[in-house]
């Protein structure tokens, strides 16, 4: 993993800052909406602000190697605080602003932070709650002083006051110049869904090489604009709003508050945009609801041109040939529908959009691409400094996560787990050599924990499931329940699905209907029902689900690796899977083992040939009382599509 | 009981100053009904003063006397060391007293921003001519006033609804917009008529925090009427308890809570 760095190339984020100030001193670097107006700071002004705070930190007593926690919503001053920390040889540690006090205490203790720079009273209160347990913490610096007038200020100062202190400029410059590619740039805590959060140490090499490679991959320009609204503690935000912004010199825009994000998005009209699937889903839903209320002509216009867009848009985006008539229709649609719609969504100017984090529904993905928005997928994690794979322009599909990012090598282990090696591979987990060793081997290969495979024809990576959930069926073929469940869940009528099949000869599934969607459908179709249970077993509902399962089977059958995962029999559950009953986690992830055990009788029935089963289930009501619900469930045989292998024979 | 007429320092270290408003022997009648019977009390600079009492006790009438909406038949109102002659509400507003209403009184069709702007009316002096031409003073004033309004919007965290017509807002937010409009006037004395009526617990907590922050940050003196006893006891420095138009208690929340007459009025005893 040697990288040729010429002696003049910037070796740290502060060095990139200095380079940008020399290159374009008067270009906006940061904007923030405050008091109803977008305030902006040029690169030259940004450097002044950062220097002022860095000098203040020196005067406060910051030593090289100290950790400085940063907690708050995306604001320019907090980004400056991170770079200022780097300038005086300290390590910024951004933490999730919505983390509970104990979680913040854990991180502060773990990294031994001497200082914390926080947004407002809420964060100050949280730290005050745990102050007794956090011995190393000496001083809290806050941005917004509202409500803090009465607080004891012996260990607390406002950001402005620190920035006004001044300090030893020569010492600051000495420390900045001493920074190399091997110095730690930032430390980020993983979310810690399993066990304690781990502090991922990223070096300047990780950050700058990744920023450079990814900026070149997508041809990012100094004229680009981003909206910084995702948590500062997340590696993606650090790379987009600090790494890439510093590398290419584009402008980072901070919203006025958490609640104004959509308005601010519209006002800024970013050219480079990142959002988890949830954001795109919510936007699409609100558009659809508003169109339902629109007049008949407008509704017709929308439906008509969206059909044109779905047919023509993605092809045009990929630069494929399109007939003249289609081009004309699309142009008219663009004037009447797509343009105004994109403008309303704040997506008019997007050149590159990314989604990642979880699977995105194909119809959501296609909707945005049909509008001419270059939405792509990437696959990454903190330990890789974000990028593992990403989709190049013109090769975008909803079912892959793209080709390896520049500089990334991929390897698929025998059990299907994806391994990678790149200049972005993290240095270590802070104070946790065991975890470091079990994640990263001596040659620098890192285990992702995800199972997947590389499509031979295109070289794209496809992620199928968490590696620990992937199993084998009785005949030895690959069993990836989540892959099939996700396909099912993309139907609005299906809320949850649980697929069984490990060590069995075929797959079967439990399905939960979505009461809102199916209830709505029932109302429109004059289907009367008195309870969730009754609706779930209604013959027409079962027919509808039959159709969905058949479509999913047909799509699974297309896949040479996973064709064995087609659903042979299924039933629609009489109750929603619920965290109160232990069937799901609080973050709404199905607990497969618990569900399998609890509904043991139903699983047995699925693998027999009965067409009905009577069952009793214990449920917990919201007030903690327990009750039993009894139901007779229908078991349906699904239509199984011929697999390619069979078809070929 | 603490001497109420001298400046004092609260438990949490806020300085309470001289008497801002002094109500002396106020009696208010509507025909034969005596809504307020010979009540005297004062409001000191920087404090949060609550008026509580059962329904029909005369709380809102009292607030209306302070705001100049009603003129009492007997008694004197002293404001900042001067006796206040009978006045129209707009004249009282010019003295630096702003209020919110029990039933929200906003311009439903106007945006939040425009509604809050109306609170700045007393800070606009440009002539009609200058305003029509949008030159000189009018233009400068609009900028200054907009800035003041934006500070209030930021303070009350209503940026996200700045451009939303008030009619589309839920109740809790309308209440906050009303507070914003009153605050925009930069009042010396802020009157809040049941600021938390009809709110859920979370909205009440938000509102309480905003009231405390307003008092803390701007040093605004606040007089409020509230039904929710928990809220009153947490928020206020001193409390007046009214029942059937009479004042039956006056003091710190602790003193009032232990006052037998107050306990009777709230828990209920038979009246002859």
Nearest CA in chain A to B155: A146
Are residues A146 and B217, on separate chains, in Cβ contact within 8 Å?
yes
Q: How far apart are CA A552 and CA A559, in angstroms?
A: 11
pLDDT tens by residue, A178-189: 999 999 999 999
Closest-CA residue of chain A to B214: A147
What pLDDT sits at residue B150?
Answer: 94
Q: Are strands A67-71 and A115-118 parallel, antiparallel or unpaired?
A: parallel
Q: Is A648 exposed, middle or buried (0-12, 13-18, 19+ CB in 10 A)?
A: exposed
CB contact under 8 A, B213 and A36: no
| Higher local confidence (pLDDT), A298 or A362 | A298
- Residue B159 has a pLDDT of 93
Chain A residue with CA closest to B14: the answer is: A150
Whether residue B34 lies within 8 A of chain A, CB to CB, comes out as no
Check pLDDT > 90 for residue A147.
Answer: no
Q: What is the DSSP string of A179-225?
A: --TTSEEEEEE---SSSS--EEEEEHHHHHHHHHHHHHHTT--TT-E
pLDDT of residue B6: 66
Q: Is the pLDDT of residue B4 over 60?
A: no
Q: Quick check: A647 pLDDT over 70?
A: no
Q: Please give the average per-residue pLDDT across B246-251, as a whole number.
A: 91
> Which position has the higher pLDDT, A326 or A625?
A326
- For residue B160, which residues of chain A lie inside 8 Å, CB to CB? 256-257, 259-260, 263
Interchain pair B147, A35: CB under 8 A: yes
pLDDT class for A13, splitting at 50, 70, 90? very high
Give the minimum alpha-carbon distance from A260 to chain B in angstroms, rounded to a whole number.
Answer: 5
Chain B residues in contact with A263 (beta carbon < 8 A): 160, 163
* Minimum distance, in Å, between the CA of residue A242 and any CA atom of chain B: 26
Q: Is the pLDDT of residue A79 over 80?
A: yes
Q: Write the CA distances from A275 to A203, A208, A243, A352, integer angstroms.
A: 25, 22, 17, 11
Task: Find tokens 């050149």 and name the residue.
Answer: A351
End-to-end CA distance of chain A: 47
Nearest CB to A35 within list B14, B151, B209: B151
Q: Using a pLDDT cut of 70, give the percent of chain A over it.
A: 96
> What pLDDT shows up at residue A594?
86
pLDDT in tens, B63-102: 999 988 899 999 999 998 889 888 888 888 888 999 998 8
Is the pLDDT at A5 greater than 70? The verdict is no
Counted across chains A and B, CB pairs separated by less than 8 A come out at 40
Smallest Cα distance from B163 to chain A, Å: 10
Among positive and negative, which fits the CA dihedral A487, A488, A492, A498? negative
Beta strands in A391-484 (DSSP E): 403-404, 409-412, 417-421, 428-429, 446-454, 461-466, 471-472, 478-479
| Record: contact A147-B209, CB cut-off 8 A | yes
pLDDT digits (tens, 9 = 90+) for A515-564: 888 888 888 888 999 889 999 999 999 999 999 999 999 988 888 778 88
* CB proximity B6 to A under 8 Å: no
Residue B12 is nearest to which of A146, A150, A260, comparing CB atoms? A150
A33, A36, A122, A145, best to mutate vs chain B, most B CBs in 10 Å: A36
Chain A residue with Cα closest to B211: A147
Q: Report how far residue A226's alpha carbon sits from residue A361's, in angstroms, rounded to the nearest whole number.
A: 24
pLDDT at site A645: 52
How much is the pLDDT for A621? 76
Task: Name the residue facing A147 among B14, B162, B213 (closest C-beta).
Answer: B213
Contact flag B13-A150 (C-beta cutoff 8 Å): yes
User: How far, in Å, are A38, A511, B272 from residue A252 at the CA level?
Assistant: 12, 44, 72
The reply to whether B29 touches chain A by the CB within 8 Å rule is: no
Question: pTM for the whole thing?
Answer: 0.83
Report helix angle B171-184 to B201-218, nearest 10: 10
Pick from A216-220, A405-409, B86-90: least confident: B86-90
Mean pLDDT for the stretch of residues A18-41:
95
Q: Report the pLDDT value the prediction gives residue B125, as an integer from 0 to 100.
A: 78
Interface test with A, best of B151, B152, B160 (most A CBs within 10 A): B160
Interchain contact B153–A (C-beta under 8 A) = yes
**Which of A193 and B55 is assigned the larger pLDDT?**
B55
**pLDDT the model gives residue A2:** 42
Contact state of A36 with B217 under an 8 Å Cβ cutoff: no
Q: Provide the mean pLDDT of chain B.
A: 87
Phi–psi pair at A509, nearest 5 degrees: -145, 145
* Interchain contact B150–A (C-beta under 8 A): yes
pLDDT value of residue B3: 43
Predicted confidence (pLDDT) per residue in A459-493, tens digit: 999 888 888 888 888 888 888 888 888 888 888 88
pLDDT of residue B272: 53
Fold annotation for A24-179+218-274: Rossmann fold (3.40.50)
Count CB neighbours of A113 within 10 A. Answer: 26
Closest chain A residue to the Cα of B12, Cα to Cα: A150
Which residues from chain A sit within 8 angstroms of residue B113, using beta carbons? 36
Contact list in A for residue B212 (CB cut-off 8 A) is 147
The more confidently predicted of residues A10 and A292 is: A10
Between A204-217 and A13-23, two packed helices, what is the crossing angle to 10 degrees? 50
Note whether A259 contacts B154, CB cutoff 8 Å: no
pLDDT at A59 over 90: yes
Q: Give the closest-approach CA distance of B49 to chain A in angstroms.
A: 20
Q: What is the per-residue pLDDT for B263? A: 82
CA distance A129 to A100: 10
| Window from A175-179, A194-198, A291-295 with minimum mean pLDDT | A194-198
- pLDDT 10s digits, B162-203: 999 999 999 889 999 999 999 999 999 999 999 988 888 888
How much is the average pLDDT of A400-428?
93
- pLDDT for the residue B271: 56
| Chain B residue with minimum CA distance to A122 | B209
Query: In Å, how far is A405's CA from the nearest CA of chain B?
Result: 38
Name the architecture of domain A470-648: 2-Layer Sandwich (3.30)
Residue A11, pLDDT score: 93
DSSP character at residue A256: S
Domain boundary assignment for chain A: 24-179+218-274, 470-648
Check if the beta carbon of residue A571 is closer than 8 Å to that of residue A636. yes
- Are A257 and B216 a contacting pair at CB < 8 A? no
The residue of chain A nearest to residue B10, with distances taken between CA atoms, is A150
Tell me, what's the pLDDT at A192? 59
Question: Which residues, other chains included, contact A648 with Cβ-Cβ below 8 Å and sequence gap of 6+?
Answer: none
Mean pLDDT of A292-297: 85
Distance CA A366, CA A376 (A): 10
Q: Given pLDDT bands bounded at 50, 70 and 90, which one contains residue A418?
A: very high
> Is A585's pLDDT higher than 80?
no
How many percent of chain A have pLDDT more than 90?
63
Do residue B14 and residue A34 have CB atoms under 8 angstroms apart? Answer: no
Query: Per the CB < 8 Å rule, is B160 touching A36?
Result: no
Of A73, A128, A79, whose CA–CA distance to A98 is shortest? Answer: A73
Residue A33 with chain B: CB contacts under 8 Å: 159
Asked if B159 reaches chain A (Cβ–Cβ under 8 Å), the answer is yes
Model confidence at A420, in pLDDT bands (50, 70, 90)?
very high
Domains defined for chain B, CATH in brackets: 1-96+187-272 (3.40.50.300), 111-186 (no CATH)
* Per-residue confidence band for A3, with pLDDT thresholds at 50, 70 and 90: very low
How far, in Å, CA of A470 to CA of B113, rounded?
A: 55
To the nearest whole number, what is the mean pLDDT of chain A? 90
Residues of A with CB under 8 A from a CB of B: 33-37, 146-147, 149-150, 256-257, 259-260, 263
Q: Nearest residue of A to residue B161 by CA position? A: A260
Tell me the C-alpha distance between A89 and A185, whole Å. Answer: 9
């Amino acid at each position: 993993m040697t990288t040729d760095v010429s002696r003049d190339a910037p070796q740290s984020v502060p060095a990139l800052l200095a380079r940008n100030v020399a290159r374009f001193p008067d270009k906006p670097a940061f904007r923030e909406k405050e008091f109803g107006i977008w305030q902006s700071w040029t690169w030259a002004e940004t450097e002044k602000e950062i220097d002022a705070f860095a000098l203040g930190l020196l005067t406060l007593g910051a030593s090289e190697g100290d950790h400085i926690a940063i907690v708050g919503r995306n604001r320019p001053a907090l980004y400056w605080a991170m770079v200022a920390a780097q300038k005086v040889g300290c390590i910024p540690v951004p933490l999730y602003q919505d983390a509970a006090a104990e979680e913040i205490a854990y991180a502060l203790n773990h990294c031994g932070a001497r200082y914390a720079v926080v947004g407002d009273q809420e964060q100050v209160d949280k730290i005050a709650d745990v102050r007794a347990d956090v011995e190393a913490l000496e001083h809290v610096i806050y941005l917004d002083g509202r409500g803090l007038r009465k607080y004891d200020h012996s260990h607390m100062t406002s950001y402005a006051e620190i920035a006004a202190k001044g300090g030893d400029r020569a010492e600051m410059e000495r420390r900045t110049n001493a920074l190399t590619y091997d110095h730690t740039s930032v430390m980020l805590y993983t979310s810690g869904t399993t066990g304690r959060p781990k502090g991922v140490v990223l070096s300047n090499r990780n950050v700058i090489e990744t920023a450079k490679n990814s900026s070149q991959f997508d041809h990012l320009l100094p004229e680009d604009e981003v909206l910084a609204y995702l948590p500062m503690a997340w590696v993606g935000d650090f790379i987009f709003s600090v790494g890439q912004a510093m590398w290419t010199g584009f402008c980072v825009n901070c919203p006025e508050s958490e609640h104004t994000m959509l308005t601010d998005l519209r006002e800024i009209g970013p050219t480079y945009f990142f959002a988890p699937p949830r954001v795109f889903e919510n936007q699409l839903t609100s558009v659809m609801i508003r169109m339902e209320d629109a007049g008949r002509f407008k509704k017709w216009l929308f439906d008509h041109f969206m059909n044109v867009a779905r047919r023509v848009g993605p092809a045009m985006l990929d630069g494929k040939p399109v007939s003249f008539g289609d081009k004309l229709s699309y142009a008219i649609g663009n004037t009447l529908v797509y343009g105004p719609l994109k403008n309303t969504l704040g997506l008019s100017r997007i050149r590159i959009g990314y989604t990642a984090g979880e699977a995105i529904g194909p119809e959501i993905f296609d909707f945005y691409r049909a509008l001419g928005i270059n939405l792509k997928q990437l696959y990454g994690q903190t330990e890789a400094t974000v990028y593992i794979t990403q989709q190049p322009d013109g090769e975008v599909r909803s079912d892959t996560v793209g080709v390896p990012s520049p500089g990334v090598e991929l390897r698929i282990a025998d059990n299907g787990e994806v391994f990678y090696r790149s200049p972005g591979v993290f240095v270590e987990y802070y104070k946790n050599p065991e975890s470091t060793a079990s994640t990263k081997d001596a040659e620098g290969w890192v285990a992702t924990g995800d199972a997947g495979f590389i499509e031979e024809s295109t070289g794209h990576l496809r992620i199928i499931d968490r590696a620990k959930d992937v199993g084998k069926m009785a005949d030895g073929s690959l069993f990836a329940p989540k892959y099939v469940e996700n396909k099912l869940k993309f139907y609005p009528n299906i809320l949850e699905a649980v697929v069984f099949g490990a060590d069995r000869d075929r797959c079967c599934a439990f399905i939960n209907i979505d009461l809102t969607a199916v209830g709505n459908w029932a109302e429109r179709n004059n289907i009367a029902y008195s309870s969730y249970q009754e609706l779930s077993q209604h013959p027409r509902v079962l027919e509808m689900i039959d159709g969905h399962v058949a479509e999913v089977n047909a799509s699974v059958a297309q896949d040479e690796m996973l064709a064995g995962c087609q659903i042979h029999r299924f039933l629609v559950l009489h109750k929603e899977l619920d965290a109160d009953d232990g069937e799901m986690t609080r973050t709404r992830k199905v607990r497969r083992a618990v569900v399998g055990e609890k509904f043991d009788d139903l699983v047995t029935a699925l693998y027999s040939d009965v067409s009905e089963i009577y069952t009793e289930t214990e449920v917990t009501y919201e007030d903690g009382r327990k009750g039993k619900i009894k139901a007779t469930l229908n078991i349906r045989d699904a239509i199984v599509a011929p697999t390619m292998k069979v078809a070929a024979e | 009981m603490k001497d109420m007429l001298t400046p004092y320092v609260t438990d949490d270290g806020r300085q309470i100053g001289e008497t801002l408003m002094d109500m002396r022997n106020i009696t208010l009648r509507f025909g034969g009904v005596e809504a307020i019977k010979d009540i005297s009390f004062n409001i000191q600079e920087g404090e949060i003063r609550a008026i509580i009492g059962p329904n029909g006790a005369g709380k809102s009438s009292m607030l209306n006397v302070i705001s100049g909406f009603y003129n009492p038949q007997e008694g004197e109102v002293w404001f900042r060391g001067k006796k206040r002659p009978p006045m129209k509400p707009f004249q009282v507003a010019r003295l630096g007293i702003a209020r919110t209403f029990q039933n929200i009184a906003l311009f439903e069709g106007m945006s939040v921003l425009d509604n809050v702007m109306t609170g700045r009316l007393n800070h606009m002096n440009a002539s009609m001519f200058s305003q029509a031409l949008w030159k000189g003073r009018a233009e400068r004033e609009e900028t200054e006033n907009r800035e003041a309004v934006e500070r209030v919007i930021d303070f009350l965290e209503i940026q996200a609804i700045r451009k939303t017509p008030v009619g589309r807002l839920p109740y809790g937010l309308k209440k906050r917009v009303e507070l914003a409009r009153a605050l925009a006037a930069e009042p010396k004395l802020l009157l809040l008529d049941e600021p938390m009526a009809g709110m859920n617990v979370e909205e009440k907590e938000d509102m309480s925090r905003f009231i405390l922050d307003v008092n803390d940050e701007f040093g605004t003196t606040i007089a409020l009427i509230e039904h929710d006893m928990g809220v009153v006891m947490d928020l206020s420095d001193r409390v007046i308890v009214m029942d059937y138009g009479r004042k039956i208690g006056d003091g710190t929340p602790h003193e009032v809570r232990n006052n037998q007459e107050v306990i009777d009025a709230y828990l209920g005893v038979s009246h002859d």
